[in-house]
Amino acid sequence: MKTYKNPNKNKWTELIKRPVIDQVKLYKTVTAIAQDVATIGDKALFKYTKKFDDVSLNKLEVCEKEIESAISQTPQSLKEAINIAFNNIKAFHKAQQNIETIIETMPGVRCWRKSVAIEKVGLYIPGGTAPLFSTILMLGIPAQIAGCKEIILCTPPNKNNTINPIILYTAQLVGITKIFSIGGAQAIAAMGFGTESIPKVYKIFGPGNQYVTKAKEYVQQNGIAIDMPAGPSELLIIADKTCNPSFVASDLLSQAEHGEDSQVILLSDSEKIIETCISEVYYQIERLTRKEAAIKSLKNSKAINLKNIQKCIEFSNRYAPEHLIIASEKAIKLSDGIVNAGSVFLGNYSCESVGDYASGTNHTLPTNGYAKNYSGVSVDSFVKKITYQEINKQGILNVGKAVEVMAEAEKLFAHKNAVTLRLKDIQND
């Protein structure tokens, strides 16, 4: 983990860069996969699963028998833990449903807005070395609350050509039964273009590696909406002298263990705090089962000593982290200065892990600086907002003249005429 002491602001741009792979090669690879899937459908999915995962598929959809088996294989203690998370996430997202009010902008002109669920959505759930069944809760629950009619789920098979039973258990818990054994960029392309087995959806959700993220960008260019460009995980911690260094170290490692392309940043106004936290990191890392992944991630990571906490907040806003922890007894007060972050964790006991699993907030968040202009997933992510207006005779009399004048100024005379005809009709009455 590289350490920097009071870097000049002109170096901040370099310091906020995320680790990336060759973008030209990435684009070519993903484009070829997506075009192949769009052209030959399931055959391409079988081909790329064999090539990238070394798994020979003979079918894609998970059958009901496999789901039933997964329920019995999931330990009761884990079911109980998942149920706590389920209830918290449901409660938080249920509260996001708002009843829109009808606004009379002027006498006779009524306007309102209605949330309508996106009918067909696709959820991507990463598998690999860390099957993220918690992401099913984060995506499936708001999708169900929103009222999406068709929810499909894609997740990669393991080496035994099976899906982790906890993923299947969690999927059925939130009411998802259309599950497909396919991962990577090819899964995104399948949901974006449709194949013989996998239906085309209107919007795709879910995190993934840089190949998955690039595939989401590709299908977006071809008319399919996505939640956000959610790539490799990242965490930034602002720690002052009131932090607990062992807590800070554990939080840094909780993100570093995601994978070698993850990144963690530690900011502090105290050199001593940084030294102590880093010492704790290398003490704790020896106990991790995912030690190798964490070590590789730390090579992409930084600890930066800045002059004061306000500078730390300023740097954080420039970085716009996916997750931000303010490890301070003054966290709530300091949080007033935060304008760019996916999700913020306040104080020494608000570890990011709780947000990842069970506090209730959503863990599908913008990465790579997109927290400057994207929000995390919510119920709103699964709906469209349709506006309505009802204008009666009094309303057209009140607003009509203004519309006529504006339409004429823009030389759109058909627009003007649509109003003029109605005004004349009222006058003739």
Active-site residue identified among 322, 352, 363, 404? 322
Instruction: For residue 142, give the amino acid letter.
Output: P
Burial label for 265, CB within 10 Å (0-12, 13-18, 19+), is: buried
Residues 209 and 128: beta-carbon distance below 8 Å: no
- b/e burial code for range 211-245 (CB count within 10 A of at least 16 → b): bbbbbbebbbeeebbbbbbbbbbbbbbbbbeebeb
> How many CB atoms neighbour CB 125 within 10 A?
30
Active-site residue identified among 93, 258, 323, 363? 323
Burial label for 52, CB within 10 Å (0-12, 13-18, 19+), is: middle
Six-digit token pair at 95? 């509260």
Main-chain dihedrals φ then ψ at residue 206, nearest 5 degrees: 125, 150
Judge whether 322 counts as a catalytic residue: yes
Rounded to whole angstroms, how far apart are CA atoms 342 and 104? 35
Coil, helix or strand for 190? helix
- Residues near 265 by beta carbon (within 8 Å), at least 6 away in sequence: 234, 235, 236, 237, 301, 302, 303, 304, 319, 321
State how beta strands 263-268 and 234-239 pair.
parallel
Can you give the length of the chain in residues?
429
Six-digit token pair at 136? 């099913």
Instruction: Please report how the helices 165-173 and 133-146 are oriented relative to each other, as an axis angle in degrees rounded to 10.
Output: 20
Coil, helix or strand for 217? helix
Residues 233 and 289: beta-carbon distance below 8 Å: no
Judge whether 286 counts as a catalytic residue: no
Q: List the Cα angle 97/100/103 in 5-degree steps.
A: 165
E strands, 145-208, where?
150-155, 178-181, 203-205
Instruction: For residue 237, give the amino acid letter.
Output: I
- Residues near 369 by beta carbon (within 8 Å), at least 6 away in sequence: 16, 18, 319, 320
Catalytic residues: 322-323
